[in-house]
A = this chain, B = another copy of it.
């Protein structure tokens, strides 16, 4: 990734993590018949095996944002895969297409989970990844995808949702959620209203999930951690404070569960 090609907002985001040598590459793999194209960023040194983090994109697909997040994670010392849910031939051209694509996956939980898990297995197989120390995170749609990974019962060390939709067509089965879960949500996010948070917590309790946390940030709308988002009339806007604090919360969480 060439910083020159990034928007100023994404350049600032990348610069918020101290610079460190990182290498990155595009990786191709499949889920069923669908060709996926992810983006792997890794610490530039030859060290021991590293924990891996799968970071799932928002409904706009494989944009620079999710790749910058992967680079930021690599600067922290993780091997990060910016995962592809939609497929290389199905990246949305505009908001309408993004909404339609995301809706297809929200409406087909099995497909959503299968795509997320294909990315997870790709990350696990990456050279230099300690496959016993893997976490999954995501933004908006990708936060929902991370939570679907948790619901699927996948053996991961932790799951983080940044302003993910907490609803699902397939609530967690008893005993299925074994990964620690961290939900970072905007207190004024119309996509995730208070009753949605309460229902999610009840879903986890009912499923017997014994390790989850929910953090609510005042004044934060949907997409509070996606730089450049500025549609308060649609309930979505970047918020610098919540973005910064949620990243710190994620770092603490990973320092604990990926240790």
Contacts and interface: CB of A to CB of B under 8 A. Distances in A.
Contact of A213 (B205, B210, B215, B252): B215
A214 B213 contact: no
Interface in A23-75: none
B252 A248 contact: yes
B194 A218 contact: no
7 contacts: A187-B212, A204-B218, A213-B217, A214-B215, A215-B215, A215-B216, A252-B252
A105 B210 CA distance: 35
Integer count of this chain's copies in the complex: 2
B212 A201 contact: no
**9 closest pairs, A vs B, by CB?**
A212-B218, A214-B216, A215-B215, A194-B198, A248-B252, A213-B217, A210-B219, A211-B218, A187-B201
A187 B198 CA distance: 10
A245 B194 CA distance: 23
Contacts of A201: 187, 194, 216, 218
A133 B197 CA distance: 34
A241 interface: yes
A103 B199 CA distance: 32
Contacts of A256: 245
Contacts of A215: 213-216
Contacts of A213: 215-218, 245
A249 B198 CA distance: 22
A86 to B, nearest CB: 32
Contacts of A204: 218
Nearest to A242: B213
A172 interface: no
